[in-house]
Chain A
Amino acid sequence: MKAEIVIAGFGGQGVLSMGKILAYSGLMEDKEVSWLPSYGPEQRGGTANVTVILNDERISSPILNSYDMVVVLNQQSLDKFESKVKPGGILIYDNYGIHMPPTRKDIKVYSIAATEASIEMKNSKTFNMIVLGAMLKANPMVTIESVLKGLKKTLPERHWHLLPLNEEALKKGATLIND
């Protein structure tokens, strides 16, 4: 099993944490993992992206030019990363604010209404877990159980009461992927 993924969006959308949770989930399943952020002065509002690699074998380069899965959460990121999906790979994008949808035909494209779903859940902070749920439905590279275990490991105990909400968000995300 090898999954080379990039998640890109605005700073503040939870891009880096989503990648971190995915990396931790891989750790729970004894996979080799790497998590490489586009670090920089950008915090909220700027662009942010993270490369996550899950592999059964030793990971060579943590930096890549083409990906099995590209997840984009704004138009700039879509413009930048659409061409970087490997042929036959997966592109997932949140359709909120996208005026120029992707055009490639040689990849699987999923448009998801994650922003809308987070509004339905009355908690905008569930957004990234909804997206992660969708990602795992499109490519079940780790199990939901591992994600929850990984979450528990990353969250301080005082936030553990939020685990059920996160699980709900993951499940909601999975429903947004329709073949």
Chain B
Amino acid sequence: MKDQVTLMKGNEALAMAMIRYGADGYFGYPITPQSEVLEKLEEEMPWDTTGMVVLQAESEVSAINMVYAGACCGKAVCTSTSSPGFSLMQEGMSYMSASEVPALVINVMRGGPGLGTIHPSQADYFQACKGGGHGDYHPIVLAPSSVQEMADFVGLAWDLAFKYRCVSMILVDGLIGQMMEKVVLPEQKPRRTEDQIREQCPWAINGRKGMRPKNIITSLELDDDKMEANNERFQATYREIEKNEVRCELVNTDDCDYLMVAFGSMARIGMKTMELAAEEGIKIGLVRPITLWPFPTKEIAEAAKGKKGVFVPELSCGQMIEDVKLAVECKLPVEFYGRTGGNVPSPEELLDALKNKLINK
């Protein structure tokens, strides 16, 4: 076991976990702060070992459409990018969702809007969770807060994508992508054979072999009633996902006066804030959403009961806070603190903000 513990960057853990999952293909275009994903894959040369395809596309638009094509064939395919690149992928996100194909899309967020900065941000929360593309769709959005979770969530995201025939996302910021921590990588799984893919994905377009009727994958449906039926089917899947797949971590939520809700790197910083607060006799609990969609609405409502207030720190101007407010139905004060431009607050800064907004107001 000890020998399996290694030290690597979050981005490198993503790459290694893709190979270990038995991925069929990665298509991406380099952009800071996630370029190490493609670099690590190129260094590992999985095409020589597992046969995984690693391809640098000519743009993010190409990359996401290569993923779309691979996904239509039932392959385990993915891409990774950072915020400006993710904007370019929105059409593909919407098309893949409408086509009900499983895919993994990773966004290692940087500060925006526009070309912005290369430093960390969480300001793509709306774009990821509420559908940055057109139409009524949701990807499943996982938010790792450690390098270990970067490695673990790759397999989880793909499993969920195949289970529900939807797009899964890993939404993380440059801080977790760039930092090194201890990690135990998952066991190497073999890539699925064509026969296994046919069995797992009977909808896939991977050759009929004269056996079955034609599979057609398309997002286009010009018959209004049929398109409405499609939407109803998508929504039924989303309700099923909301029922089964909410994940969150609760820390000290039973024994606290104030509740903090934070994800990713902000949850890590928030945990230190809790330690500092405890030294001053201020009791803070934390709900860390692991799935940002489906959002842990019930869990937050439950944890907030009897508390004096809720504090939501984000690396944005306030996005997840809207879902937190909906979760607690404005029954108690919900206060926000955010930094942007790639700036990351210190644990002390969060504690000061919490005190100013909720305690000494």
Contacts and interface: CB of A to CB of B under 8 A. Distances in A.
Tell me the interface secondary structure of chain A in the complex: loop
Contacts of A20: 180
A24 B181 CA distance: 10
B83 interface: no
B7 interface: yes
Interface residues of B, number: 29
Nearest to B349: A65
Interface stretch (A25-33, A101-109, A140-148, A165-173): A25-33
Contacts of A61: 268-273, 346-347
Contacts of B269: 60-61, 63
Nearest to A34: B181
B268 A62 contact: yes
Contacts of B270: 61
Contact of A39 (B174, B268, B273, B349): B174
Tell me the interface secondary structure of chain B in the complex: helix
Contacts of B347: 60-61, 63-65
A13 B182 CA distance: 25
A37 interface: yes
Interface string B158-187: 000000000000000011001111100000
Interface in B16-61: 32-33
Contacts of A62: 175, 179, 181, 265, 268
Contacts of B182: 27, 32-33
Contacts of B181: 33-35, 59, 62
Contacts of A27: 5-7, 182
Most chain B C-beta atoms within 10 Å of own C-beta, residue among A23, A33, A60: A60
12 contacts: A27-B6, A34-B180, A35-B180, A36-B175, A36-B180, A39-B33, A61-B268, A61-B269, A61-B346, A63-B268, A63-B269, A65-B347
